[in-house]
Every structure is written in structure tokens, then in C-alpha cells.
Amino acid sequence: MYSKKVLETFRNPKNIGEIKNPDGVGKIGNEKCGDVMWVYIKVSKNKRSQEIIKDIKVKTFGCVAAISTSSVLATIVKGMTLKDALKIDKKQIAEELDGLPPAKMHCSVLSMDGLRKAVEDYRNKKAKAD
């Protein structure tokens, strides 16, 4: 039921793990539903002084789809500006994986929500520091 791409990604997930001293952390999902993601980001600026995601790592408790979407999202947004990263469509994530079973589409939403929360966390922290 999973595409080959999902399975490959699951087998060799990228950007999985933790960042020490992250600039932002987004914790999403709940244990009850069986999907929990913690998204860690490191932010820096590019030449045009835009904030970009310099590094991203995700920790995931969940099914094959959850782990694969975490990996794909992280791979896609790494290096992107925060602005662009937040515009990623959940469909793009699914497409990157050659599709997800309908029942698993929420996983891509979840990973996006995790990223959003991480960025929020980063901005909150920054606002405080400023």
C-alpha cells in the first residue's frame, strides 16, 4: 500500500535526530493518535539577509508514513527561507513520496505543523531576546 519511495525513505530517513541548542523546536501530535513529531531547526541568514533554515532534524514516533514524511519535509525545506518553507504544500510532500495512502495524508500535515511550530518557537524566542 505504500509507494516504493515511501519505503525507501523510511529505510534511509534523512535529517532524523536532534539538534543541540536549536533555534526553534516544534512539538506536534499526540501519543494517543500514535504520531508524535519534534522538529528542531537552526536558523541563519542568506546573502540577501533572509532568514533561512540552516539545519533541520526531526524525531518521530509513528508509522512508516510519519517517519517518511518527516524525512522528506526536512530535506525539502533545508536551506529554504523561512517564508518559503512555510508555504510548502502538504501535497508537495506527498508527491515527493509518489503519493501516500489516503488514511496517511494527515502525516504530511503533521510534519508541516511541526515545522510551523518550530518557526513560531524560533520567532518567539527571538522576539524575547530582541
Other C-beta atoms closer than 10 Å to the C-beta of 63 total 16
Contact 57, 17 (CB under 8 A): yes
Could you say which of 54, 64, 79, 125 contacts other proteins (CB under 8 A)?
Answer: 64
Straight-line distance from the first to the last Cα atom of the chain, in angstroms, rounded to the nearest whole number: 49
33 binds other proteins (CB under 8 A): yes
33 catalytic, yes or no?
yes
Q: Which of 18, 33, 44, 126 is catalytic?
A: 33
* Residue number, 9 or 52, with CB nearest to other proteins: 9
Could you say which of 9, 10, 111, 112 contacts other proteins (CB under 8 A)?
Answer: 10
Other C-beta atoms closer than 10 Å to the C-beta of 67 total 23
